[in-house]
Structure 1
Amino acid sequence: MARHRTLARRRAGVLAAATAALTFAGTAPASAGAADPAGPPASAGAPGTAVPLEPAGPAGAPEAAAVPDVAALPDAAAVPETGWPLRRAAGLPRGHDVSSYQKRVDWAAARAKGARFVYIKATESTTYRNPSFSGQYSGARKAGLYRGAYHFALPDRSSGAEQAAYFVRHGGDWRADGRTLPPALDIEYNPYSAKHACYGLGTARMVRWIRSFSDEIKRETGRRPVIYTTAQWWKQCTGNSRAFSSSHALWIARHGTARPGALPGGWRYWTFWQYAVEGRLPGDQNLFNGSLSRLRVLARGR
């Protein structure tokens, strides 16, 4: 979500002129999860070019085949809808998300600064794998963080099921070890084309694409993916679909404000909030909407 943040900034003016709905300031694609292509490591080609890398993801099949989905996980600390000011976040678990642009993270230092969880970019479309994923993923675990993997979606490149299968093969698997967060789908403004913010898909097709991705993740891991998005993108590109709010945890991106704002698509609670693109932790800054015990429940799946 770091590399595409840069691309989003470059295109902000164009997008604003194209449509008032694309407000990248503050609430926008926080760094469009695709932290690497469009300028991955020097050895990589242009976006969409396969990058031959060593296997990146955790090995092995999921240890639990049918795990109940845990969505918003509201508890005494959970905040509904428009939320509260950021100054009240002191008691919530802090975390971050990273990609290959944070190649060598000092995980022990991150934990000492307050990190309790991290999401790490694993894949993009079906042609890119984060070359730093394996080391980042194992390093986070060794430091005692809850960690999960995320996939940056390019719905105009291939089907949701194909991208989900690629993600699972290269890091997006889930293990019932009590420390692995559910796989996450990063779906937001197209960082490669200002003209096609919704990847050329109408709202009905986009909803079907997301459903296809989610169903494949569920089939292969037993978990529904966390959905990372912005309120603006969700409203524009899915027609503010409510099809996922009862079964998928929401990771909302909204920057430069003291509140997460009104939530899209029928979600009553946010589970993660990406509130800043930089801060005390490497990469983007996030909060979990609950206690550490609820974060543990999310990781366990029950």
Structure 2
Amino acid sequence: MRFPGLPAVFSACIAVIGCTSNGPSVDDLLARPSQETTSSVTRQDNVVPPAAIGSASSDGREPQQMLAMAPSDPAPEVMTAAFAMPTPSVKPSMRGQIYKQRFRDAKPINFGSTSPDSLAVHGVDVSRWQGEIDWATLRAHGANFAYIKATDGGDHLDPMFKKNWRAAAEAGLRRGAYHFFYWCRTASEQADWFIRNVPKVQGALPPVLDVEWNGTSRCKKRPSRSQVLEKMQVFMDKLERHYGQRPIIYTAPDFYRDNLRGEFSDYPFWLRSVAAHPSKVYPDRKWLFWQYSGSGLSNGVDGKIDLNAFHGGEDEWHRWIAAHAG
């Protein structure tokens, strides 16, 4: 989820003036390959042994029968909300404490008047690459929720998932799991693999489907837009039936440009936008979570960590949790 730095002129625009109308146009922002990744991305050398997996048909459609094919990559991991907020009442006694974020950033960006600091509820996403996490300390420094890498493809399980899943809950964080989609595997098989490894538990956040282009993948396939949308729908339908929660779509600027503009308007989005407010990069897209940094720093974790914010205030957060947490 983290690539080399942005072009200098764009970075200067953001740092100095918050990328006003004098900066790059929306088309310019979406036309260039995504330069944004997160701290969850590191080349993985040791691959979990493959399981039996399915293959797509020659036209890219999801098959009715599963066939064996090559295992998934050691794929880089990755990881939106003017979304209509539900209005169930929430008793004060049921509300968890919201900790004010005290995160730092190794590569700070001046977002101007649209700074994520104005948002009340912050959280993180993590994978094996964050190593051993002191979850209680991380929570106290502002991680009110955590999305935890679970799976990618149809045969990879993050070796820290089970430990992080348990420890995050013990520390009082709202937790959810995410899956990194692999374009050389069938969507139905990937959904089965996620369901096999991610427990269905009360209070869990909705599952996340992480879709993006992966330039380091062994899988060089880039399906057509129609095939991408079909695969995503197959995966999300299967998860929604199992967990009873509508999945959240996580994506990056270039993948969004190629496939998702104007699509899935009834799904919540989690948008990666580490150099400008999402409204600049994803115009007209409602979002639920904003990943605003891939270079965050916090007590409780060594090295960099991804930082995210919920689109709304504390009351909206509690209402959303009451309506959508499992």
TM-score over 0.5 for the pair: yes
Moved over 6 A (4+): none
Match of residue 253, structure 1, among 272, 276, 281: 272
Larger radius of gyration: 2
CA 1:297/1:48 → structure 2, altered by over 3 Å: closer, same or farther?
A: farther
Match of residue 142, structure 1, among 153, 158, 170: 170
Q: Which amino acid aligns with 2:202?
A: A
Query: What is the CA distance between 1:285 and its match in structure 2?
Result: 0.7
Q: Structure 2 CA distance, aligned partners of 1:86 and 1:265?
A: 14
Query: What is the CA distance between 1:230 and its match in structure 2?
Result: 1.7
Contact 2:208 2:250 in 1 (8 A): yes
1:189 aligns with 2:207: no
Query: How is 1:47-126 mapped onto 2 (pairs within 5 angstroms)?
Result: 48=71, 72-74=83-85, 85-87=113-115, 89-126=117-154
CA 1:24/1:128 → structure 2, altered by over 3 Å: closer, same or farther?
A: same
Contact 2:206 2:247 in 1 (8 A): yes
Structure 2 residue runs of 5 or longer lacking an equivalent are: 8-29, 51-69, 75-80, 87-110
Match of residue 159, structure 2, among 112, 126, 131: 131
Q: Structure 2 CA distance, aligned partners of 1:271 and 1:300?
A: 15
Contact 2:48 2:157 in 1 (8 A): no
Q: Tell me what 2:289 maps to.
A: 272
Q: Which amino acid aligns with 2:308?
A: N
Task: Quote the RMSD (CA, aligned, Å).
Answer: 3.3
Q: Tell me what 1:229 maps to.
A: 251
Query: How is 1:189-228 mapped onto 2 (pairs within 5 angstroms)?
Result: 189-193=213-217, 196=220, 199-228=221-250
Task: Deviation per CA, 1:100-121: give whole Å up to 9, x if none.
Answer: 0112111111111111011000
Q: How many residues align?
A: 247
Q: Tell me what 2:38 maps to.
A: 31
User: Could you state the TM-score of these two structures normalised by the residue count of structure 2?
Assistant: 0.66
Q: Tell me what 1:161 maps to.
A: 188
1:175 aligns with 2:197: no
Query: What is the CA distance between 1:189 and its match in structure 2?
Result: 1.4
Q: Structure 2 CA distance, aligned partners of 1:111 and 1:225?
A: 24
CA 1:104/1:152 → structure 2, altered by over 3 Å: closer, same or farther?
A: same
Structure 1 residue runs of 5 or longer lacking an equivalent are: 13-19, 52-69, 76-82
User: Could you state the TM-score of these two structures normalised by the residue count of structure 1?
Assistant: 0.71
Q: Structure 1 CA distance, aligned partners of 2:209 and 2:256?
A: 13
Q: Structure 1 CA distance, aligned partners of 2:113 and 2:219?
A: 34
Query: What is the CA distance between 1:95 and its match in structure 2?
Result: 0.6
Task: Deviation per CA, 1:53-72: give whole Å up to 9, x if none.
Answer: xxxxxxxxxxxxxxxxx992
Task: Deviation per CA, 1:239-278: give whole Å up to 9, x if none.
Answer: x4433122x1110001133x223464963x2111111112
Q: Structure 2 CA distance, aligned partners of 1:222 and 1:102?
A: 30
Q: Which amino acid aligns with 1:137?
A: W
Question: Once the two structures are aligned, what percentage of the paired residues are identical?
Answer: 28
